[in-house]
């Protein structure tokens, strides 16, 4: 009964490749997010999606594109991978639209290594 | 000045001690405050969530928010070796489905 799941758990690829990370939540939440955790463990928001609409996009290169086929899924596509993209990427979800709660629940993370 | 400041530690205490973890922030618009626990190579796990100023208790954990000082704390009573992890404070403001702003995390070690 995993709440927020991500695949794959580990991803090793070469510079210049294109890759995708998948995220699914079964919490019935209406908003999903992608965060990046760098080598110093600092977590930073990348995107959030609410009802298939992009809400925020924090100075992320346009090589990164989130895609949400439905409310329960938010996938992250990365084109032309660079060494600096190596990090752990976390998906999260929350029931934020009502404004009553901002608790976010995180997935287990995808460790991306670009060689 | 970073938006959220948190001492990275490591903070090492003996088992059974009371642990105090803290964050300061600069943006007075923050209204929602959270504490997450992250074990090595795992995702952040939500521990405590508070809105505005005040205290909230859940078992051995107490979260405290002082908006006038822009200071939040997490207290852990009767600390256990299983509490050893990185503790991240996070916060957000009212107005919609925003992402969280995190501190850099404090690495806590509970010595048996």
Strand ranges, E, within chain B = 4-5, 11-14, 19-25, 30-38, 45-51, 54-58, 61-66, 71-76, 85-93, 101-102, 106-111
Residues of chain B with Cβ-Cβ distance to A48 below 8 Å are 97-99
Contact residues, B window 46-105, toward A, CB-based 8 Å cutoff: 46, 49, 86, 88, 90, 92, 94, 96-102, 104-105
Strands A105-106 and B19-25 turn out to be unpaired
Contact list in B for residue A101 (CB cut-off 8 A) is: 49
pLDDT band with cut points at 50, 70 and 90 for residue A99? low
* Stronger pLDDT, A104 or A88, i.e. the higher one: A88
| pLDDT, mean of residues A33-42 | 91
Indicate if the pLDDT at residue A97 is higher than 60: no
Q: Which residue has the tokens 């964050």?
A: B23
Cβ within 8 Å, pair B100-A104: yes
CB pair distance less than 8 Å for B32 and A90: no
Q: Which residues of A touch B42 (CB under 8 A)?
A: 108-109
Residue of chain B whose alpha carbon sits nearest to that of A53 = B97
Residues A94, B97: C-beta atoms closer than 8 Å: yes
Residue with tokens 């405050």: B33
What pLDDT does B109 receive? Answer: 98
The predicted pLDDT at position B2 comes to 65
Is residue A82 scored above 70 in pLDDT? yes
**In chain B, whose CA is at the least distance from the CA of A40?**
B104
Phi, psi dihedrals of residue B78, rounded to the nearest 5°:
45, 55
What's the pLDDT tens digit per position in B58-112? 999 999 999 999 999 999 999 999 999 999 999 988 765 668 899 999 999 999 9
Residue B14, min C-alpha distance to chain A (Å): 25
Q: And the tokens for A74?
A: 């938010």
The tens digit of pLDDT for each residue in B4-58 reads 999 999 999 999 999 999 999 999 888 889 999 999 999 999 999 988 788 999 9
Helix (H, G, I), strand (E, B) or coil at B96: coil
Sign of CA dihedral B94, B95, B99, B104: negative
- Interface with B, mutate which of A21, A39, A43 (most B CBs under 10 A): A43
């Amino acid at each position: 009964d995993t709440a927020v799941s991500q695949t794959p758990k580990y991803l090793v690829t070469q510079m210049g490749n294109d890759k995708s990370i998948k995220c699914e939540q079964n919490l019935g939440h209406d908003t999903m997010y992608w965060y990046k955790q760098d080598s110093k463990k600092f977590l930073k928001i990348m995107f959030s999606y609410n009802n298939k609409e992009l809400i925020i996009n924090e100075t992320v290169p346009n090589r990164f594109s989130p895609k949400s086929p439905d409310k329960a899924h938010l996938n992250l596509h990365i084109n032309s991978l660079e060494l600096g993209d190596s990090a752990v990427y976390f998906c999260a979800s929350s029931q934020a639209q009502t404004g009553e709660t901002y608790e976010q629940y995180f997935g287990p993370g995808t460790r991306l290594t670009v060689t | 000045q970073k938006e959220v400041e948190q001492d990275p530690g490591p903070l090492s205490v003996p088992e059974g001690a009371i642990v105090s973890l803290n964050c300061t922030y600069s943006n007075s618009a923050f209204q929602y405050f959270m504490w997450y626990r992250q074990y090595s190579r795992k995702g952040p796990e939500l521990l405590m969530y508070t809105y505005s100023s005040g205290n909230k208790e859940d078992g051995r954990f107490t979260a405290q928010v002082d908006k006038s000082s822009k200071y939040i704390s997490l207290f852990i009573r009767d600390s256990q070796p299983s509490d050893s992890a990185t503790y991240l404070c996070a916060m957000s403001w009212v107005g919609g489905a925003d992402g969280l702003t995190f501190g850099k995390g404090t690495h806590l070690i509970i010595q048996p």
